[in-house]
Amino acid sequence: MLRVLLACSLLSACALGAQLPIKPARPASKVGMGIMSSLFGGKGYGGTAVMGEESIMAPKAHGTSAVPVQLNLQWGCDEKTADRICNFNRHYAEYAGYWESTKFIEEARKEVAANGPITFYDSNTGKPLFKAPMERSFDQFIAESKSHGWSKGF
């Protein structure tokens, strides 16, 4: 079974696995949003942010991807919901709290206790995206995820 929480959901990150034009990585900085950034400053990101071109979301063979999400998503994630979010969606992700309706918390807690951080993968490509929890406990990871409404990897 693939270790994919709701498809792109943890980060709404389906596009991260796309084989499309990607701007070179930038060191930690403020990311610009046009005039609003010049007035109020851009959003800061730690580490290296890789910003994708708008073409990442251009229509392809299957919505905004060449392929649908993989089958047998882990933790009881619904493939139709995952496919809609990852491939036929330009705004938002799943509704806040969806991940709590899956088997994620129960099964991931056991796996983290036995093996340490879990690697999460892109639902379409199967490429690894991130590991979690890192530098915090599983309970801290879950508490932060609940405060955001969806789980947060890094």
pLDDT digit string (tens) for 82-140?
Answer: 999 899 987 777 777 888 889 999 999 999 999 999 999 999 999 998 899 999 999 99
* Mean pLDDT across the chain: 75
Confidence of residue 42 (pLDDT cuts 50, 70, 90): low
What's the pLDDT at 73?
92
Cβ 56 vs Cβ 18: under 8 Å: yes
- Taking Cα atoms as reference points, which of 14, 34, 28 lies closest to residue 89? 14
Percent of the chain with pLDDT over 70: 65
Name the residue with tokens 């949003």.
33
What's the pLDDT at 17?
34
For 38-57, b/e burial (b = at least 16 CB within 10 A) is eeeeeeebeeebeeeeeebb
Instruction: Give the chain's end-to-end CA distance (angstroms, integer).
Output: 23
Contacts for 139 with CB less than 8 Å, ≥ 6 apart: none
- Taking Cα atoms as reference points, which of 81, 92, 102, 91 lies closest to residue 3? 102
Confidence of residue 21 (pLDDT cuts 50, 70, 90): very low
Please tell me which residue, 26 or 110, carries the higher pLDDT value. Answer: 110
CA 46 to chain centre: 17
Confidence of residue 80 (pLDDT cuts 50, 70, 90): very high
Confidence of residue 38 (pLDDT cuts 50, 70, 90): low
Q: Output the pTM of the full model.
A: 0.65
